[in-house]
Each structure stands twice: as C-alpha cells, then as structure tokens.
Structure 1
Amino acid sequence: MTLTIDNLNGLGPIDYTAALDATSPLEIARTLNQPTRCIGLLALSTQAVPARRARVILTADNGTILFTGYIATESVQEYLGAGLTGPVYRTTFNAISDEWLLDKQTVLFNGAGYAEAGGTVFTTLTNRVDATLFTTTGVQSGRAVGVFLPEEAQTWSANAAAVAGSTYAAYRAINGALTLQPAASVTHTFTDGDGTLQIAALKTASVKELANDVTVTGAIEPAAVVTEIFIGDGTTTVFDLTEDPFIPTHTANSKYVINDSFNTGIFNPQVWTVTDPAANLGFTSNGLLLNGGNGSDGETTLTAIDAIEMGGTLVIEAGSLQLNTASDGVLCGLYQGGVARANCFAGYNVRQSAGATIITPFINGAEVGTSYTILTGHSYTFRIRLHCAEIQRVLQTYYAMVDGAVESFGGGFINAPMQAVFEYIDLGNSSTTPATILYDTAVAGPIANTPANCIFAAVDSVQLFGSMGYCRITQTGATWITSTLPSGTVYTRLLGASGEGVDGKVSSTGKVTFFAGRIPIADEIVTVTYRMRQRSVARQQNPTSIAEEAAGNAPGTAAWLGKVLKPIARSTPDCESAAAAILSFASARAAAIAGTYIALNPQQTADIWPGDLLALTTNGTTTSVLVRRIAIACGAASPELLTYTIAFANDWAEGLGIHLSEAVATDALLPLTALNGPATVLPTLLQLTVISASTTALQIDAGTAPPTGGGFEVRRRDGDFGPTIDQDLVLRSPVRSFAIPREAQVEQYFVRMYDGSNPPVYSRFSSAVFTDIPVA
C-alpha cells in the first residue's frame, strides 16, 4: 500500500507510506452515497506536516486506487519525544473524498427534474457547480427519476445522494472522476470459509419487524377543485374565499421558476443552455441583445436547463422587450420536444407581415388570437398566463429490490386541460393602463391534452433583432378568476402586483383584492377556481402475507405507519406508490436482514464499494445483500493486509430507493380501510362549471359525459360518497348537465363522478361549488 500527499507547495506528491504509524492502522470509511473519509496517523520526523487542502492518494500494491481526496481540516500533532534525527511527532490527518471540492462551492440548487434519466439529473447538478472539476464519462443514464426537487441549502453531495437514491443507484467520486451506476450492478461472491459471516436479523435497535399493512403520509396536496362564486355590487373590493388556496410546496422558498435580468454580462450557467453558432446573442445596457440568427429555426436559442412542470398557475414574462424590423422567431416558448416552431406548445410567434414586425400568440404550433404590430422604439411587457387545476402533472417513481431485482412503483403523467391568456403592455403608457388581451381561453375554450412538462426557451431566434430586459417565470399557486358581465361577456381576470396592468391579487390566506378601476360592477359574476388542501396519505395491504401470518388463529395483520421523506410524495397517488414499494420488501419473513462480513484483501480480486451486491453462501445457502458501508483497515504489514468490514442490509432494514421516518404526519386523516393493490378511481371533474346562478338554482355542466350506468353525485359535505349513504345527499344525476336547487345565500356543494360498478367507483377528489349569492 502506498500513501502519497501533495501539500500544494510545488513539490508534488510525496510518499508518506513509511511515516504511517504502525500502532494504529489507517482507516477508510466508505458509505453508500456519501463522501468517503480517510483517517490516519503519521509518525513524522523530516516530512512536512500535511497541509489543509492537501491532496491524498492511497493505492493498493496491485494498483487499485483505494482513496483520493483532500485534507479538510488542519492536521493535529502530538509530540512523541526525540528520535535519532530529532523531535518525533504523531500527526492525525482527516481527508474527505474528491466531492469535497464540489461541496465547498456556494451554489443554490434551484432546478427540478421531471421524468428524466437519473444520470442526466446528476450531471446537470454537477455542471451547476463546476463542469471542469470532474470527468463524468462514468455517469450512466440509469433509471428515470419521477420528480427530483433539490434542497437549495444542501451541499452537492447531499443532493447527489438524493438523485442516486431516487433511482436506486450508487455514486462515487475518486481520482477526479464521478461515476453513477445502478445499485447491484457488481456482484461479489463469498462463502463462510472466506471470512467471518455475521447475519443478524430483527435487531430492535436498527431493524424493523415484518409489515404487511402499511400507512404512509406525504406532503400537503391539492384536494377538492373549488369553484367559488361572488356577485359584484360596484363597490366591494375584497372577497374572502371559504378555504385557503393550495400553494405548491416548491414555491415556499421562491415563487420564481426563472428570474434573469441579463445584467451580469454573462449567461447564467445555472439557468441557461446557450446555442449560438454565429454569436448573435449577447448583452447590452438594455439587457439581452438579440442581433439576428442564422436563418434556421431552433439553431440560435437560449434554453432553460430544467424542464417546467405544467401545473398550477404559471406566468411567463418577457419585460422591457424591444423588437426591430425584419425580426423572425419565437419568444417565451414552451416546447414538447426540441426547440422548434412545430413543437411549440405555447409562445409568442414573431414574423414579418407587409414590411412590419408582428407578434402573435402561438399554441400547438399554430397562431391563435389577435396579432399585434410592434412599434419601433417602444418597449413592451409580453406575458403568457397558463392555468391547470392539476398542480402535479408528473407522478413520483419509487424503486425497490424485490427478490434480487429492482422494480419500479408509480410514475407516469397526468393529462389535464389548461387555460391560457396572452397579454401585453406598452410600457410608454400609464402604469394604470390595463394590459391588452390578445388571446383568452375564457372565450375560446380550454386547451385539451396538454403536456405534463415542457422545455422552455426564452429565445428561438431565426432572425430576431432588439433586446429583452428580463425574462421571468412565476409559479403563482393554483388560483384562476373569471368574470361574467351582465351582458354575458366572459373574460379572465389578471392577477399580479399593482402597477402591472392587472386586475387584482390573491393572498395565501384566500383574500381576493381588486385594484381601483377594476372593481366588479353590479351583478357581475366573479368565479374563482382554486384547490383546497389536505395531507396526502395512503394505506396498502398484502393480503397473501396477512393470510400466512394468520396461521394458528393468530392475528395476521402487521401494521406499520410512517412518513415518506425521499423521494418526496406530493400526493395521495404518490403515497400509494410508496406504500406498494414498502410492501414489496417489508412483508417477507426475512424482511429486515442486516449484518456484517469481514474479508481480507478482497481488492486483489475486485475492490468492493457500497452499492455492490454480495452473494454470501453460508451452510449451503446463498443470500444476496446490498453493501451499505465498508470500513477498510490498512495494517502495517508485508505482504499487504487490508481488512474489509462490510456492512450490508436490505431495503426494509435500511432504505435506498425510499427513505422513511417512523412517524406519520399529525394532521393526516388516516384511512380506515386499506387498498390491496393499485387504487381504482375515476378522474376528478376538472372542467365542471357553473353555467348559470339564479336565485332559485345553480345550473351545472359536469364537463364530461357520465360513465355507462353511472352519473354525478352531489353532497353538502365532502366525503361519505356511496350509493347507500343518505346523509348530506342532495341529488344524483345520470346526465352531464343538471340543476342544484338553491337553499341559502351561502352554500357549499361537492360533486363526484361514479360509474356502474358494484360497488361504484368514484372520483378521487370532489369538485366543489361554493356560492355567496342571494336566493329567492
């Protein structure tokens, strides 16, 4: 074994092997998806004391690199006495593996990953810090993440561990290279004759018992879809919603998905990918410079690194925008696939018409609404507002090892319609001048079959000339407001800050405030759509395991309750997937096997790392277990003696693909009955609308045809839906359009769809109608 230390003093790597203290072996501690540590004692005489930040490399006699890293703290010296060549000191050094360089950088990890390959998310995470520090050729694409939301205040290694764990993979940083590969990709075979095998099952200090009835809680989720109706009187400016509207979890720290003022003189590498072969994009005192293109669509682009989840309410904005003649391209485009006009789900199309530059709303690759002719020398703000009642469009994926193979649970996308408004403001006008609407789905109808996530490009310049002062995408929550005038005209109310040409604002506590000049007139119907909120929770059972455990008339149910920590469970469907994953490894009698294995010099055959699989044969029985930690003791011996103490565990003893805590959320309403497989539910009525609200009845359009043999059930309270439950029942309608008789000025009704099954299947969440309207 050879130990070299480069103290960064210009002398290069120095061999410190002879200085290793023979009384205490050098130790290497490897932990799955965590930085590796190397701790050693040196008996120094003439050698220099290892400096902080010194480079440490430890190599086995056969050339295997056991450790590379950096001394993170000042070395500790202890005087031992005088030797033949002078004073002798024993020095302790503590080194951390190579990713220490990434962990020391101050970077905010603000980009989410949606249904991307784990290797792609891992590489993006690294490039956000410094793309030049490590080679990433060993990063495999691996399994796809469902949803990865980085923790902004955490280090690179903490976020890298989250990516690796969520894809059931193991990462490693050694010798200037990062690797990521699926866990259990490498198998090492040992028998009890090769070392000392210690299998310990069901240790209550660290190992759980069998579980076949699992309840888990997740994040706060969007629940009932509420349509709340108010009547204007010409003076009331503030309306209080009955419930606090749901706000997406990842907007708690920042409501901005993207916010760039282009004022640093360089493109922010944490936000943008720049494709600009002819150097047509640059900077000016007005922000982003648009100075033409190569004449081809999709070849001169400024594209966000991270995909955008198309849920809730998004406001896409290009501010202080100036365009000159001969411009051609797309601004603020959201794309399904590569950046090209044909793939543009929503954006602003810029082109020439009769010698003038016009800008037109663009949906699904086609122009819609009204075109606007750009005035030379004018500055504008152009906005796109998108609203989807489904806040979560990408479902979480969980991985678990079942019978030696990794299986996935959950995943997929949620299809849903979206509302859209395209607007602009000429910044030369007064700050009280309302924004001009170019397209509004309140009139045209919602966009069906929308993408769950999109690529965003601020600029696709075929030949764009001008400048853009800033580009911003804001996640404003899940609230959407429309107004119906006494004349029958319907339009979308614009929300934002005063002075932005909008109508009003909505607080997180459900207070709707209209600005001066935008106050609802007498008999104007104001319709507010939002989501209620509740704690996500799910309960799953394994009936086969329950039956097996019930042998001998003993109760067969073995319950476990906990909370999903990582990957985040944003909704009840995510909790159902997580519970199914837990049951896959928690309902076996050897559910929580854990233990250690001690081997001597295994590196002579193949080095062992956390995430590898051990095939251990003892007394003729082979057990496959996943390596979690390795402690390597490098003894002062010749020939070389390396003792590997290998700790292993299966998923129930120690999580990899899913991290849990042993306590459910205190605000969860725990299910009384459990699922025995994937949940069967009908879609939530996202397009249920109130066609008219008179003093005697509410005319409802459910937004979809009823299932065969089914219909729509209306109740005064949410919950207790079913064919044999009469309490709070208002009516059941077998047709799409139906009337709810009015009973009071302030009313609450909850509607779910049901089918003709026995018993019937219902929508997962209600669509609610709340009113504050006078009755006859």
Structure 2
Amino acid sequence: MNLFIDNNDGLGGLDYTRAILLDAPLTITRRRGAWTSCDVGLDLLGSGLPMPVTRARVLVLDAAQSVLFQGFVEGDAQAAVSAASSEGAEERPRMHALESKWLTEAAPEEALQPVTAVQSSVDLRDVLLKSVATLATQDLAMDVMLTGETEAGAYVTELFRGDGTTASFSLLHAPFREAGSGAILREQFDDSALNAALWTRTDTGGYLSLGGGGLRMSGGSGYDGATVLAFAKPVEMGGTLVAEAQGVMLGTGSDGLLMGFYETSVGHAHCVAGVRVQGAAGAHALVAVVNGVEQPTTYSFSEGHSYALRVRLHCAEMQRVRARYEVLVDGVLQQFGGGTVDAAMQVVIEVADPGLASSTLPTVLYDGAMAVSPAQCVFAPVNSTSLVGSVASVGLSQTGSAWVVSTATDGSRTTRREGAVGTGADYATTSAGTLTFDPGRVPQPGELLTVRYRRPRRSVARAQDAAAVTLRSDLGLPGLPQWSGHVLRPAARSSADCLAAAQALLALATGAATGTRGSVAWHRGAGIAADVQPRDTLVVQSGGAARMLPVQSVTVVAGNCAPELLHYTATFGQSRAESMSFTVGSGLAEDVPQPIAVTVDGASLPERLRGLQVLIATGSALQVDSGVDAPLGGGFEVRRSDANFGSASTADLVLRSPVRSFSVPRAAFAERFYVRMYDGSTPARYSAVSSVVLTSLPDGS
C-alpha cells in the first residue's frame, strides 16, 4: 500500500509510505451512510517530510496502483511525544482524512443500490454469523399495518342556497389542509441580489435586475424561454394554488409571459397556465394562456400603470407525487410506490387594477378546466421575450382543498375567489370551515352555492403476504406474524404511501437472508481478490446453497510488509436496520378506527368519482353527473351512509344507476348522500373513497 500526501505547498504529492508506523498501520474505514475515512500513524523524525496540514490531499494506492482512498486531511495532524526516545521529542502524528466528497457534498450518500454488479463469494466456514433478536415481531412479520399523515379523504360537495342577505356559511367539515401548507413563496424583491435558494435565473443578457419597483425587466433576447426567472423548486399541482404578482408595471414593446406554470421547460408551448403580455406592434393587452393556447378574452393595460395578476389552480387531488419506498432484499433493490396521480384541474386567471379601488372586482381572463394536468410544474413569474417594466412582489400559496362555484338562477356558473377582505376577492375561509362573503359579493336569492373540498382522515394501510396466507390456511394454522407501526421518513402523505411502505416491509420479510447479520475477514487475494465496498454483495456459500448478503461496512488495514498484504473485515446484514431507504416507528396513530381491513390496491378498483357534480338542485331532487361513464356491467350506488357499500343491506340504499347522470330524490332540508362506482365483477368492487353530497337547501328550492 502506498501513501501520498500533497500539503498544497507546491511540492506536489510526496510519498509518505516509508513513514507509516508499524503500531498504527494505515486503516481505511468504509461505512454505508458515512464518509469513508483514512487513519494512519506517521514517524516523521529524520524523514524530511513535512507535517500534514489541514486540507492536505491524501491518495492511497495498492500495489497495482489502483486507488483505495482519495480525500483530504480533516484538521491538523496531532503529534504525540514518544517517551521512549532519549534524544528528545519524536514527532509521531496521527492523521485523519475523509473522502473527497466530504468537501463537495452536504451529506454522505445513503443509497441502497449495490455499487457494482460484482458479487464476492465466501465460504460459510469463514463467516461469523449472528441473528437479529427481534425477528418474530419485526423483520419476519407477514401482516403489516402502517399509519401515516392526515390525508385527504372523501370528496365532499356541499350545497347552499343564497337569499341575498346571508353572508356566512358553515361547512359540516373543516376542509382538508395538508400540514405545512400556506405560503410556499413570498418575495418582495427588496434585497441587493436574488436569493439563489429561491430562484433559478437564466439571463445571459442581463435583462433582469433588482432596483426601484422591485424586479426590473429591461427587455430580452427576443427568444422565448431565453430570459427567465423561475422558482428553484418544482411545484406539486395538488389542492388549491394561488400565484399572485403585485405592482406589475409594463412598458411599450413588452412581450413575454408572466406568472407561468410550465409542464417541462419554460416556453410558451409548455405553459399550463399564465398571462401573456402582448405589447409589441402597438398592442397593449394581457391574455390568459392555458395549455400553450392564448384565450380570446383580452385586457388592455396602460403603460406605467400598476396591476395585480393572479393565477388560481384547483385539483381535487392533494397529493400528485407519490413517495417511494425501497428495500434491498438478497442483493436486489426493490422499489414500491412512487409515480404520479393523474387528475383534472380548474383554472382561473385574473387581472386587477388596484389603482381604481382595492375592492374593485378583477377582470377574469379565463375560468375553465383541463381534463388532464401535470403532477408537477416549473413556476416562472417571468419569461421575457422583450418585457419592459417591473414587478413589485410575487407570492405562491397552497390554500387547502376547497373550491367554490356559484350557479345563478339563469344557469350560468361562476368561480368564487377566496382572499382577504378588501382585495377584490369574494370570500374568506376560517380554519374551522366558515365561508364569509364580502359585502357586495353575498350570494343572491336563488343562487346555488357549491363548495367542493376533501374531508380529512388518517392515512392507513394493511398488507399481508398472500403466499403466507395460503400456506397457513392449507396447514390449518391461525393468523400470521403481525407488526403495526407508523411511517416516519419519507412521510406517508396518503394511504397509498402507507400501502407502498407496507409492501416494502413484506418484501423484506420474505428475503432468504433477512434476519442475518455477521462479519467476515480475509486477506486480499487469499480470500477475495477484488476491493470490496459498502453496498456490494457477499455470496455466502453453504452446502451448495447461497445467501446474498449486502455489505454494510468494510475496514482495510495495511500489513506493512512486502509483498503487499491487505487485511479486510466486512460486516453484513439484512434487516430493517440496514436494508430500508425509509424509517418506521412502532405503534399506530391513535385516531385510526379499528379493526383495520386488508387494503386492496386502489389501482385495481373502480375509479374514484373526484369529478362528481350536482348540476341542478330542486325541492324534490338533485341532478347528478358522476363525471365518468359506468364500467361494463357496473354503475353508481347512492347510500345515506358510508358503511354498507358492498353489503347486501338495503336499509340505507337510495338507488343504483347504470348511467353516469342520475336523479337523487330529496326529502329534507339537510341530507347526506354517499356515492361510489362499482364494477361488473362478482362480488362487485367499489371505489376506494366515497364522493359525498351534503345539502343545506330549503325543501322548496
């Protein structure tokens, strides 16, 4: 083994191999999830070699000149005085170095994926094995129950009738709001430079700057997507999002896009929703852009005047990006969960002139829907082809799951806008679910107010190993080894996430090597010829059978002899402590209803009725459109409770319909109707979550 150290003194890498102490040999320690380190004792007396300094470069090569370690000294080498020397103090420093990534990356990599496809074989007689003490309740559990965060549950449609005077309406449930929701971005552009943690800037021409008025725009290259200010993080397009720009001032010749959400790269064709500025060729207009298409409604702006732009987006699904849970089982990385959730989206784009009055109604440039929307978008407040002017502030908020629409007596429908009093919005919502309308925005006599939101519930899933269930049933054995807990990291935001984590735990439980920990030692070449790294795989041979065991740590100690002798010790293990990319804790959340049924994968069930709408509400019936066509042999079932779907009970059954549009009879002022889709299988399978219609309507309405 050869040791070279470059002390950054212009002398380059000096050979310290001859200075290595016999009683403090060079030792390389590699651990998964930790920085690789190199420790060595040096005898520098009479060597002419300088003391290694902080950040000195360290290179360790084997006899074949392959790199075993490359990094930097952490701290100054500490000298120890040798009491055995009669001629004075002898320098015998101990040097500690960390791998090069220590200086360039925030934290060590914790990935489970094996480093290479190379597998090293060892015989069982050379291995020290030990088992895990908690196998029965954890590692080998075949019936797993997990809870996660509070999630968005049933799809609720709540109906009210306006009378011209009632300004406050209390919902039966507080609409679901995800923990941590609220302001995603608040930027006043009042610093000396853009915050690199918030913004990604593409601007080779220097057209964007900070100054009087906030963010100043002084033109562009003339190319779409070439001068851009974008939020540094992708935005998940779930729930209700409100993007707002205040103090927007535009000059002659302006052309570009403001407050845009983009599916992929920033460009007009990829704009899901935004505002196009048409200021070239004498025009002075603002136009909504939806899915890359400019909409017909225009708003004429005045040069130098200040405006507010808002883009409101609503999706019935709160989680659009699923969490991914990984386990390393018998040398193979298995992934569960992940992916995205397809869903429709409502879009409202508006412009307001605060100079007229703070409460002046905005002009709506677009109010409509898209049947399919991206799960994530790039949010770019500025995409300047040749924008001239300034933007005082930009904000982006996640306001929860509620969305309000009014239907006038003539059948026309209008989206009601949430916001603070005096901003030109229609209403404000309390955390308890009370909607209070501003004066002048109160629902008029006969106006149908439709509030759509998600009801909160605890996310939970239960998964069982199907093969184990069958085997124990065949043998007449009761039950399965069971374990219950909660997902800690990454957070399980939905029952689908909980199910993915539970499936990962089941996969680990079925591994041939699960529950095994141990270590093996060898001299390189005599046992295993290759250099071994954490996350490599050891194949332990025993009686013709083999077990694949992931390496957790490797220690390499130089033998200080010629020919070269390198002593390796590797630890390995396959259990929850070593083989998962996520963490779980014991015990379910206290608010989970018991017992917990085995979860059926939602992908195999009929579609959720997230788009269900009440089209007409009269004193005798509700005309409902489920939003999707019925599956072959199936239809839609309406009940007065959420407990009996799939049962033979008819006590709470209202109707079954084979077509997507149907009429639900009314009998009282306040009623509840639960709706699910069912398929043509026997027995029928139902949507995983109900759509609920709640009425607070006079009988004669």
Provide closer, same or farther for how the CA distance between residues 80 and 361 of structure 1 changes in structure 2, counting only shifts above 3 A: same
Say whether 1:247 aligns with 2:177.
yes
Alpha-carbon distance between aligned partners in 2 of 1:600 and 1:185, rounded to the nearest angstrom: 21
Counterparts of residues 531-550 of structure 1 (less than 5 Å): 531-548=454-471
Shift of the 78–246 alpha-carbon distance from structure 1 to 2, 3 Å rule, reads farther
Q: What secondary structure sits across from 1:749 in the alignment?
A: strand
User: How far apart are 1:598 and its partner, in Å?
Assistant: 1.5
Partner of 1:396: 323
Task: Decide which of 481, 504, 509 is 1:586's aligned counterpart.
Answer: 509
> Aligned ranges for residues 664-683 of structure 1 at < 5 Å?
664-669=588-593, 672-674=596-598, 680-683=604-607
TM-score, length-scaled by structure 1: 0.80
Following superposition, the deviation at residue 388 of structure 1 comes to 0.4
Deviation at 1:460, TM superposition (A): 2.3
Question: Is the partner of 2:604 in helix, strand or coil?
Answer: coil
8 Å CA contact 2:330–2:549 kept in 1: the answer is no
2:114 equivalent to 1:190 = no
SS in 2 for 1:614: strand
8 Å Cα contact 2:297/2:365 also seen in 1: yes
Aligned partner of 1:86 among 85, 88, 110: 88
Show the counterpart of 2:58: 57
RMSD value, Cα: 3.5
Give yes or no for the alignment of 1:493 onto 2:416: yes
Matched to 2:171, the amino acid is L
Q: Which amino acid aligns with 2:177?
A: I
Separation (CA, whole Å) in 2 of partners of 1:85 and 1:320? 79
Q: Percent identity?
A: 39
Matched, 1:341 2:341: no
For residue 295 of structure 1, what is the aligned residue in structure 2?
Answer: 222
1:22-421 → structure 2 map (5 Å cutoff): 22-25=22-25, 27-38=27-38, 54-55=55-56, 57=58, 59-62=60-63, 63-69=65-71, 81=83, 83-87=85-89, 95-101=97-103, 156-157=106-107, 161=110, 164=111, 168-169=112-113, 183-192=114-123, 196-204=126-134, 208-249=138-179, 251-252=180-181, 255-352=182-279, 355-401=282-328, 404-421=331-348
Map 1:453-468 → 2, pairs under 5 A? 453-468=376-391
Alpha-carbon distance between aligned partners in 2 of 1:586 and 1:236, rounded to the nearest angstrom: 59
1:227 CA displacement: 1.3
C-alpha deviation, 1:367, in angstroms: 1.8
Q: More displaced, 299-308 or 354-363?
A: 299-308
| 2:641 is equivalent to residue 717 of structure 1 | yes
* 2: CA distance, partners of 1:568 / 1:367: 39
* Aligned position for 1:569: 492
1:532 positional shift: 1.0
Q: Tell me how far 1:692 sits from its aligned partner.
A: 3.1
Q: Which amino acid aligns with 2:613?
A: T
The question of whether the paired residues in 2 share the 8 Å contact of 1:356 and 1:374 is answered with no
Q: Distance in 1 between matches of 2:555 and 2:438?
A: 65
Give 1 or 2 for the bigger CA radius of gyration.
2
Matches of 2:697 and 2:583 in 1, distance apart?
48
2:362 corresponds to which residue? 435
Q: Is the 8 A contact 2:224 2:256 kept in 1?
A: yes
Q: How many residues align?
A: 696
- CA separation of 1:28/1:743 partners in 2, compared to 1, >3 Å: closer, same or farther? farther
Q: Is the 8 A contact 1:45 1:87 kept in 2?
A: no
Closer, same or farther in 2 for the Cα pair 1:32/1:453, shift >3 Å?
same
- Flag structure 1 segments of 5+ consecutive residues without an equivalent: 103-125, 127-155, 170-182
- Once residues 334 and 610 of structure 1 are traced to their aligned partners in structure 2, the CA distance between those partners, rounded to angstroms, is 42
Asked whether the 8 Å contact 2:138–2:483 carries over to 1, the reply is: no
Report deviation, 1:755.
1.9
Kept in 2, the 8 Å contact 1:202–1:592? The answer is yes
Change in CA separation of 1:205 and 1:211 when aligned onto 2, cut-off 3 Å:
closer
Q: How far apart are the structure 1 equivalents of 2:499 and 2:550?
A: 25
Q: Which one of the candidate residues 487, 497, 515 is aligned to 2:438?
A: 515
Distance 2:634 2:137 in 1: 48
What residue in structure 1 maps to residue 632 of structure 2? Answer: 708
Q: How many angstroms apart in 2 are the aligned matches of 1:80 and 1:354?
A: 85
Shift of 1:234: 4.4
> Helix, strand or coil: the match of 2:578?
coil
Contact 1:378 1:427 in 2 (8 A): no
Q: CA deviation at 1:11?
A: 8.7
Amino acid of the structure 2 residue aligned with 1:315: V
Letter in 2 for 1:377: G
Q: Is contact 1:548-1:556 (8 Å) kept?
A: no
TM-score for the superposition, normalised by structure 2: 0.88
Q: Could you tell me which runs of 5 or more consecutive residues in structure 2 were left unpaired when the two chains were aligned.
A: none
CA contact (8 A) 2:485 2:587 kept: yes
Cα distance change, pair 476–346 in 1 and its aligned pair in 2 (3 A): same
Which shifted more, 257-266 or 39-48? 39-48
SS, match of residue 544 in structure 1: helix
Deviation at 1:288, TM superposition (A): 2.3
Distance (whole Å) between structure 2 residues aligned to residue 596 and residue 14 of structure 1:
35
For the residue of structure 1 that corresponds to 2:682, the secondary structure is: coil
Aligned twin of 1:503? 426
The more displaced of 377-386 and 212-221 is 212-221
SS at match of 1:584: helix
Between 1:1-10 and 1:400-409, the stretch displaced more is: 1-10
TM-superposed CA distance for 1:377, in Å, is 1.0
Segment of structure 1 superposing worse, 673-682 or 644-653: 673-682
Q: Equivalent residue of 1:547, what SS?
A: helix
Query: Helix, strand or coil: the match of 1:581?
Result: helix
